[in-house]
Structure 1
């Protein structure tokens, strides 16, 4: 994504403490709101100084919104992807195991960001992002995409019903699952998202191959917090802007 300001930020740095220690940007994480706000400003300034950070209220959907003017303070549309062609806006997606996906058509000056948890990925959130970009002038033959840190197959145990849901959508999805213990399975979310992007005609895709679950000092992880019985967890942010 040469020429486009972007970054996949982890938990290092930031002002939060305790179980949220580091750069926690999750408004709904039960962290101190003022601290989260300052962390979000730090993240934005690190990627595109002076830009207005735009985020959505993520609902694990395939909904994408187009941002053609800065959102009013406190306004977060219910969606899981956002696109823009307006310089000075910085699109942000929050994750804590789900896959963040950043998009750019550099020639057209159009960028996008998507939150691809398993529900959104299966529902087509990346496809919706591409369509939204095309609606304001992008060409999918020029769009490049990058998939950031997310839970990896080695850490993502699922049951037979989960596997069945994916295979009912497309029998070829079985290739994204490996046998696990006690009749369970290990799901490769990153590879599934990459395959969806490639199937949509995106020719240049980069996947970072970073597992959020085991790297406690580097990433927040919902599943890790759940397995430990922790009451809450932080979120990291992925950013892209013009």
Structure 2
């Protein structure tokens, strides 16, 4: 008997088809066990294809799933039709019904956004590079180009690595403080020469600073909750040969 796909939703996005998915409900085995949707992983291609089909069906039955070739950039792509070859970028927006926008993560922050009145949705992959580079700002601009109003846009930040699990060095913290000295507040003192970085809070700050008035933070730690989520950092710390990727989906 197969385990159903776990779909995590946010109160800010009620009325919009969306879901943050983890590893529960898939067919992959080994280090990828569960709902691994990573085309770029070393997992069996047939298992990944089945997992992607299950993920899309769990959130938007009958929709066409589109995902970009993620490169930790601030690039946002406007999707008007399914694409054969995945474009490079880290966010997608659309105003076309029937398209399920998907973003893959394994510790980075997935961000789903919607202006229900305008019929415009977006999905962004905010790792630290993309977050600092402005991937959420690019997504908001692309949504506005399709008719969304910033003050109407609601957002949610899904499962990502939490501050307690995200140790960084001084040079990392200095990158953020060089961009804005006030970013110091997202770093807590850790062991000597290290800090604990709150990626989720930083992404929420960027959204709020850009004028998004409703932002949900789900507070789910991918690193700490192995039963529910894949984690690149956890796999790295264990010396595992590869890691699974989870997906977050939104559409009209």
Instruction: Using structure 1 for the length normalisation, give the TM-score.
Output: 0.98
Residue in 2 that maps onto 1:58:
70
How many Å apart are 1:47 and its aligned residue?
0.3
1:48 maps to 2:60: yes
C-alpha separation between the residues in 1 aligned to 2:125 and 2:33?
23
Residue in 1 that maps onto 2:217:
207
Q: Which of 95, 119, 127 is 1:117 aligned to?
A: 127
Residue in 1 that maps onto 2:208:
198
Q: Which of 178, 193, 205 is 2:188 aligned to?
A: 178
Residue in 2 that maps onto 1:149:
159
Q: Which of 7, 27, 34 is 2:19 aligned to?
A: 7
C-alpha separation between the residues in 1 aligned to 2:39 and 2:226?
20
Residue in 1 that maps onto 2:45:
33
Residue in 1 that maps onto 2:5:
none
C-alpha separation between the residues in 2 aligned to 1:214 and 1:192?
19
How many Å apart are 1:71 and its aligned residue?
1.4
SS in 2 for 1:94: strand
C-alpha separation between the residues in 1 aligned to 2:154 and 2:136?
12
C-alpha separation between the residues in 1 aligned to 2:118 and 2:146?
9
Q: Deviations over 1:164-215 (max 9, x none)?
A: 0000000000000000012210000000000000000000000100000011
After the TM superposition, list the runs of 4 or more consecutive aligned residues in structure 1 that deviate by more than 3 angstroms. none
C-alpha separation between the residues in 1 aligned to 2:160 and 2:39?
20
C-alpha separation between the residues in 2 aligned to 1:66 and 1:99?
20
Residue in 2 that maps onto 1:236:
246
C-alpha separation between the residues in 1 aligned to 2:98 and 2:173?
42
C-alpha separation between the residues in 2 aligned to 1:160 and 1:183?
6
Let me know the Cα RMSD of the aligned residues: 0.5
Residue in 2 that maps onto 1:220:
230
Instruction: Using structure 2 for the length normalisation, give the TM-score.
Output: 0.95
C-alpha separation between the residues in 1 aligned to 2:15 and 2:167?
38
Q: Tell me, which stretches of 5 or more residues in structure 1 are unaligned?
A: none
How many Å apart are 1:69 and its aligned residue?
1.4
C-alpha separation between the residues in 2 aligned to 1:12 and 1:69?
29
